[in-house]
């Protein structure tokens, strides 16, 4: 079957049922002429979302540094000499105060991240209080705390946690080149626990880590073929950080990054595709192409965990130029 016929068969199978994507069918989409790819992505985006609305989320590091994992991209790993000092878990009251400021600035989802391998029982009460406090502000809640077992996921669900972020980072083939302290299967197990608890899954990856095009495609195939595609799919562009093994990684070419966004939109039509880390290195034009390709969620604020992020004034100016407005806050 040639690429166009294979593509048509795959897209037809999306009518009401999530297809089982293959590397071949996904690559047939990825390799379309750029204008055709963007047209298909924008068409699917319009069928599922308002094309001129983007969700604003805020991410707070509630526990920074000292992580025992050796993820090659991360400044928070205890294995790397990034100069980042470890901190204790932030106090509940401070987290809620920061969430209130984010809400008042227009964010509708609040994400809390801790540099842990896995959640420890001694911290559960504080985390539950954080979720309950942020929910009381009328915001969606999201956490990323490392690996979870089913009981932990269920307790967070009972507290009102809406989303749990746990990225697979890259393809299964390339994964061991980036991380040795946790397996690809470990990540899938945590995703299953999150899904089984009833929490919505937020899961994506990082591009520009020296992977091949096939790895980016395989990563999206894995996500699209989960029992339920993630509700939120963050696509991060590597931020090279001094002291980490990937500081010299070859940057991904901008058009290839936009192709990855478009492919994610086509393969996961109803998911929020999040333009995440790396926006500081993106031109306004590149970001505009990403929004046209189907990205409809960003993180706002001057920092993204420990890295720089475009300021709210810069994002607001870009939105005005593009005629984009933030998602409205849902009534609760």
Active-site entry in 74, 182, 259, 265: 74
89 contacts 120 by C-beta, under 8 angstroms = no
* Identified catalytic residue from 58, 103, 111, 187: 111
Out of 40, 71, 109, 279, the active site residue is: 71
67 is catalytic: yes
* C-alpha–C-alpha distance, residues 305 and 236, integer Å: 13
The encoded tokens of residue 136 equal 């009381």
Q: Show the tokens assigned to 214.
A: 């096939």
Return the closest-CA partner of residue 109 out of 156, 55, 153: 55
Q: Known catalytic residue: 71?
A: yes
Catalytic residue among 40, 67, 182, 195: 67
Nearest to 239 by CA among 278, 204, 212, 275: 278
Alpha helices in 19-64 (DSSP H): 23-30, 34-48
Task: Please say whether the beta carbons of 263 and 223 come within 8 A.
Answer: no
| DSSP single-letter state for residue 182 | S
SS3 at position 77: strand
- Strand 303-304 versus strand 307-308 pairing type: antiparallel
Structure tokens at 56: 């604003």
- What are phi and psi for residue 233, nearest 5 degrees? -125, 95
Which tokens is 330 given?
Answer: 């849902």
Residues 58, 103, 109, 142: which is the catalytic one? Answer: 142
Please tell me which residue in 58, 195, 265, 274 is annotated as part of the active site. 274
Annotation marks residue 203 as catalytic: no
Give the alpha-carbon dihedral of 291, 295, 300, 306, to 10 degrees. -120
What is the set of active-site residues? 67, 71, 74, 111, 142, 202, 274
């Amino acid at each position: 079957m040639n690429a166009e016929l294979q593509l048509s068969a795959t897209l037809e199978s999306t009518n009401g049922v999530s297809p089982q994507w293959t590397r071949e069918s996904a690559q047939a989409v990825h390799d379309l002429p750029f204008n055709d790819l963007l047209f298909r992505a924008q068409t699917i985006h319009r069928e599922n979302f308002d094309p001129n609305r983007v969700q604003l989320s805020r991410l707070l590091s509630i526990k920074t540094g000292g992580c025992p994992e050796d993820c090659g991209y991360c400044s928070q790993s205890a294995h790397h000499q990034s100069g980042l000092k470890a901190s204790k878990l932030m106090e509940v009251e401070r987290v809620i105060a920061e969430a209130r400021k984010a809400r008042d600035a227009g964010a509708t989802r609040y994400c809390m991240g801790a540099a842990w391998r896995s959640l420890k029982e001694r911290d559960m009460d504080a985390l539950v209080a954080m979720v309950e406090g942020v929910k009381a502000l009328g915001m969606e809640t999201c956490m990323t705390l490392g690996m979870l077992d089913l009981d932990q996921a269920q307790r967070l669900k009972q507290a009102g946690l809406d989303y749990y972020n746990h990225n697979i980072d890259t393809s299964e083939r390339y994964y061991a080149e980036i991380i040795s302290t946790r397996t690809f299967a470990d990540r899938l197990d945590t995703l299953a626990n999150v899904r089984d608890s009833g929490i919505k899954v937020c899961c994506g990856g990082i591009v520009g880590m020296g992977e091949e095009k096939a790895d980016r495609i395989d990563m999206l195939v894995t996500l699209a073929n989960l029992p339920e595609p993630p509700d939120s799919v963050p696509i991060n562009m590597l931020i090279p950080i001094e002291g980490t093994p990937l500081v010299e990684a070859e940057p991904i070419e901008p058009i290839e990054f936009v192709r990855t966004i478009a492919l994610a939109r086509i393969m996961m039509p109803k998911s929020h595709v999040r333009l995440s880390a790396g926006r500081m290195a993106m031109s306004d034009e590149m970001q505009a192409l990403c929004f046209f390709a189907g990205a409809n969620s960003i993180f706002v604020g001057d920092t993204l965990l420990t890295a720089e992020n475009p300021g709210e004034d810069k994002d607001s100016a870009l939105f005005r130029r593009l005629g984009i407005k933030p998602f409205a806050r849902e009534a609760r």
